[in-house]
Amino acid sequence: MLHIVLHEPEIPANTGNIIRLCANTGAALHLIEPLGFELEDKKLRRAGLDYHEWAKVQRYQNWANFLERQQPQRLFALTTKGQTIYSEIHFLDNDFLIFGAETRGLPAEILDSLAKDKKLYLPMQETSRSLNLSNTVAIVLFEAWKQIEFVGGK
């Protein structure tokens, strides 16, 4: 199983889309607080449709709590500050993919704790700043899932 980690997500519709994505790919979703919304938010529910019951979602009070409870062996951060294209990584089952808040990205202390080859980016036009969070998660998750031969998929 692959793991998607959202660090302090702010937009309920993005998280709802990611819940639906995780339910459909079998990935676990880890939400690190504070969240910019309540999980009962109508926009989150609407975007996730009826997939909430099928998604494996866990919440953590902060980054340290997440690390203590999960103890990830391989953690990759998606960041515009990355130096490795996401598609150059050989993903493995049980990898954790972390994504930052929509308006801030990941904090420096998280990025600084990771090796250079664990900070990934998606290529885009030079004049572009970033992609939508749920789109970025979908692109990277499907690449990782493809590499582990769509385990659990049909």
The ranges assigned to domains in the chain are 3-147
Greater confidence, 150 or 53?
A: 150
Give the pLDDT score at 52.
59
Contact call for residues 23 and 55 (beta carbons, < 8 A): yes
Q: Tell me which of 1.10.10.10, 3.30.70.2190, 3.30.590.10, 3.40.1280.10 is the CATH number of domain 3-147.
A: 3.40.1280.10
Q: Please report the pLDDT score of residue 43 as a whole number.
A: 58
Cβ burial, residue 88 (10 Å; 0-12/13-18/19+)? exposed
Peptide bond into 9 cis (omega under 30): no
Question: What mean pLDDT do residues 127-143 have?
Answer: 93
CA dist 33 and 65 (Å) reads 10
CA–CA gap between residue 110 and residue 7 (Å, rounded): 10
Per-residue pLDDT reduced to its tens digit, 19-66: 989 999 999 999 999 988 777 756 555 554 465 566 788 999 999 999
3-state secondary structure of 6: strand
Are 25 and 2 in contact by the 8 Å Cβ rule? The answer is: yes
